C-alpha cells in the first residue's frame, strides 16, 4: 500500500488540465482524457478507438506482488482468454505520480494481442457507479486493478463497476491486480483502512489496531479460502500474513480463510478456472496453519506451531484450494518470533 485517495484537489485539477492540453495525439496511440477530474473520475485510452470483439476462452486471474505489470505473466494472462486482440481496462483509485497518466497501460500496450488499454481512475465511491464507466468495463475483456490503497477499492464494494468486473470474469475474461489490486482478490481482504501493519506489530499483537479485515469484493472460485499479501519478501510480510491467518482461525472469527498467498515484488501468478496457478518471475509463498494457534489473543504475542510454508519459484505450479500436503517446510512462532527463517527451507 503506497498511495491514498487523499490528494489535494488543486493537484488533481492541474493534472486534468495537462491531460486536456494533450488533445492533439498521434493516430490511436497517445492517451486522451475524456472527463475532467471534477466529475470524480478520469479516463485515458491508448490504442484502438474502437472495441475489439474476441471470442473468450477464459476465465483467468492475474495475481501480482507489485503494481507494475509483469510482462511474461500478463502476456500469458492475455493469451489464456483469447486468440485475437482484446481490450484492457485498468482501474485505479488514485492519480498516478510517475509522470505518465497511464503507467500500467504504457507497458500493457507493448504486449501481443492487446488492441487497447484504458486507464480509469475513480476518485470517489459514488463515481464507481457512473454508467459510462460501467459500460467501459462491460466492453472490456480484461480488467486490472492498479496499486495504491486497497481501502479505497473496498469502498467500491456495492458499486456497479465491481458488479461489471464480476461479469467480465463470468463471461470468460481476465481479472487481476497488483499490490493493492492483489489485496482485494481473496475471500478475506486485509483492507489497511487504519494503517499498514508490519510483521513486528502483528506478531507482537495479532489484534493490533492496524489489522482490519473486509469481506470479499469477488467470489472467484479459485480464490476461495485465500487471503493475499504483496511486496512479500521485500517488506518482510511473512509474520503479518501468519498473524492474519491466526486471527482468522481464532474464535469468535467464523472466517473460512485458511491459506495465505504472499507474492513478492516482480512476481506474478496466472490462475485458470480450475485454480491451477503458474508462477512467473520472482517468488510466491503459500502459507497454511496446520493446527490452531497455541496463543492468539489481544495485546500478547503470537505463539503458533506447524506453520506450513510452500515457496513457488518461476515455472512452479500449485492448485489453489488444494491441500498443500507435504510440500514446503514447517515453521514455529514462539512469543512473536520465528524460530527459523520462514522464507527458506534451511533448518
Q: Determine which helix (DSSP H) or strand (DSSP E) holds 114, and give its type and residue range.
A: strand 114-122
39-338: CATH number: 3.40.50.880
Averaged over 283-299, what is the pLDDT? 97
End-to-end Cα, the chain, rounded Å: 32
pLDDT at residue 79 greater than cutoff 90? yes
pLDDT at residue 98 greater than cutoff 50? yes
**Cβ 278 vs Cβ 307: under 8 Å:** no
Q: Which 8-state DSSP code applies to residue 322? A: S
- CA-angle at 139, arms to 138 and 145, nearest 5°: 65
The C-alpha atoms of residue 293 and residue 243 are separated, in whole angstroms, by: 10
DSSP 41-79: EEEEEEE-SS---PPP---EEEEESSSS--HHHHHHHHH
| Radius of gyration over every alpha carbon of the chain, rounded to an integer in angstroms | 20
- Say how many C-beta atoms besides its own lie within 10 A of residue 295's C-beta: 16
For 94, the 3-state DSSP assignment is coil
Q: How confident is the model at residue 134 (pLDDT cuts 50, 70, 90)?
A: very high
Residue 35's pLDDT is 57
Can you read off the three cell numbers belonging to residue 129? 457507479
Which comes out higher in pLDDT, residue 259 or 5? 259
For 288, the 3-state DSSP assignment is strand
Name the residue ranges covered by the structural domains of the chain.
39-338
Residue 38's pLDDT is 66
Q: How confident is the model at residue 346 (pLDDT cuts 50, 70, 90)?
A: confident
Q: How confident is the model at residue 325 (pLDDT cuts 50, 70, 90)?
A: confident
The C-alpha atoms of residue 265 and residue 67 are separated, in whole angstroms, by: 8
pLDDT at residue 10 greater than cutoff 50? no
**Cβ 343 vs Cβ 326: under 8 Å:** no
Residue 63's pLDDT is 98
The dihedral built from the CA positions of residue 141, 227, 95 and 68, taken in this order, carries a sign that is: negative
Q: How confident is the model at residue 1 (pLDDT cuts 50, 70, 90)?
A: very low
Q: How confident is the model at residue 197 (pLDDT cuts 50, 70, 90)?
A: very high
Residue 31's pLDDT is 53
Which residue in 51, 53, 75 sits closest to 62, CA to CA? 75
Kindly give, in sequence order, each residue whose CB lies less than 8 Å from that of residue 50, ignoring residues fewer than 6 positions away.
Answer: none
Cell 509522470 sits on residue: 99
Averaged over 85-109, what is the pLDDT? 95
Return the minimum-mean-pLDDT range out of 18-27, 144-153, 200-209, 276-285: 18-27
pLDDT at residue 171 greater than cutoff 80? yes
Averaged over 228-243, what is the pLDDT? 98
Averaged over 286-314, what is the pLDDT? 97
Residue 30's pLDDT is 46
pLDDT tens for 17-33 read: 333 333 333 333 445 45
pLDDT at residue 315 greater than cutoff 70? yes
Q: Which 8-state DSSP code applies to residue 81? A: H
The C-alpha atoms of residue 281 and residue 250 are separated, in whole angstroms, by: 34
**Cβ 296 vs Cβ 302: under 8 Å:** yes
Q: How confident is the model at residue 347 (pLDDT cuts 50, 70, 90)?
A: confident
The C-alpha atoms of residue 103 and residue 148 are separated, in whole angstroms, by: 13
In sequence order, the β-bridge partners of residue 57 are none
Which comes out higher in pLDDT, residue 17 or 48? 48
**Cβ 118 vs Cβ 87: under 8 Å:** yes
Residue 255's pLDDT is 87
The C-alpha atoms of residue 52 and residue 191 are separated, in whole angstroms, by: 34
Q: Determine which helix (DSSP H) or strand (DSSP E) holds 214, and give its type and residue range.
A: strand 213-214
In sequence order, the β-bridge partners of residue 90 are 119, 144
The C-alpha atoms of residue 262 and residue 340 are separated, in whole angstroms, by: 18
Across the chain, what does the average pLDDT equal?
90
The C-alpha atoms of residue 120 and residue 159 are separated, in whole angstroms, by: 15
The C-alpha atoms of residue 228 and residue 61 are separated, in whole angstroms, by: 13
pLDDT tens for 146-170 read: 999 999 999 999 999 999 999 999 9
**Cβ 284 vs Cβ 264: under 8 Å:** yes
pLDDT at residue 15 greater than cutoff 80? no
The C-alpha atoms of residue 22 and residue 20 are separated, in whole angstroms, by: 5
Amino acid at each position: 500500500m503506497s498511495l491514498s485517495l487523499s490528494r489535494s484537489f488543486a493537484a488533481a485539477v492541474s493534472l486534468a488540465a495537462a491531460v486536456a492540453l494533450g488533445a492533439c495525439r498521434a493516430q490511436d496511440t497517445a492517451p486522451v482524457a475524456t472527463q475532467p477530474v471534477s466529475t470524480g473520475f478520469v479516463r485515458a485510452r491508448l490504442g484502438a478507438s474502437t472495441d475489439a470483439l474476441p471470442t473468450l476462452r477464459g476465465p483467468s486471474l492475474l495475481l501480482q506482488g507489485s503494481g507494475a505489470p509483469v510482462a511474461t505473466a500478463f502476456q500469458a494472462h492475455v493469451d489464456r482468454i483469447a486468440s485475437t486482440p482484446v481490450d484492457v481496462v485498468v482501474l485505479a483509485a488514485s492519480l498516478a505520480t510517475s509522470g505518465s497518466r497511464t503507467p500500467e497501460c504504457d507497458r500493457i500496450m507493448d504486449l501481443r494481442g492487446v488492441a487497447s488499454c484504458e486507464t480509469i481512475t475513480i476518485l470517489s465511491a459514488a463515481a464507481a457507479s457512473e454508467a459510462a464507466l460501467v459500460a467501459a468495463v462491460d466492453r472490456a475483456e480484461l480488467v486490472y486493478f492498479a496499486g495504491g490503497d486497497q481501502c479505497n477499492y473496498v469502498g467500491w464494494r456495492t458499486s456497479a463497476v465491481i458488479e461489471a468486473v464480476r461479469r467480465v470474469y463470468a463471461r470468460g475474461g481476465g481479472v487481476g491486480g497488483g499490490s493493492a489490486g492483489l489485496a482485494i482478490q481473496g475471500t478475506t481482504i486485509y483492507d489497511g483502512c487504519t494503517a499498514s501493519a508490519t510483521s513486528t506489530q502483528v506478531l507482537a499483537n495479532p489484534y493490533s489496531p492496524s489489522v482490519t479485515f473486509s469481506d470479499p469484493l469477488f467470489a472467484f472460485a479459485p480464490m476461495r479460502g485465500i487471503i493475499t499479501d504483496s511486496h512479500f519478501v521485500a517488506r518482510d510480510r511473512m509474520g503479518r500474513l501468519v498473524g492474519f491467518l491466526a486471527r482468522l482461525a481464532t474464535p469468535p472469527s467464523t472466517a473460512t480463510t485458511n491459506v495465505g498467498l504472499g507474492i513478492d515484488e516482480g512476481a506474478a501468478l496466472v490462475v485458470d478456472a480450475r485454480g491451477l496457478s503458474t508462477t512467473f518471475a520472482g517468488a510466491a509463498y503459500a502459507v497454511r496453519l496446520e493446527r490452531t494457534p497455541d496463543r492468539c489473543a489481544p495485546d500478547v504475542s503470537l505463539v503458533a506451531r506447524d506453520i506450513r510454508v510452500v515457496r513457488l519459484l518461476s515455472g512452479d505450479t500449485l492448485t489453489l484450494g488444494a491441500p498443500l500436503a507435504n510440500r514446503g517446510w514447517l515453521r514455529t512462532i514462539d512469543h512473536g518470533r520465528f524460530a527459523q527463517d520462514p522464507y527458506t527451507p534451511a533448518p
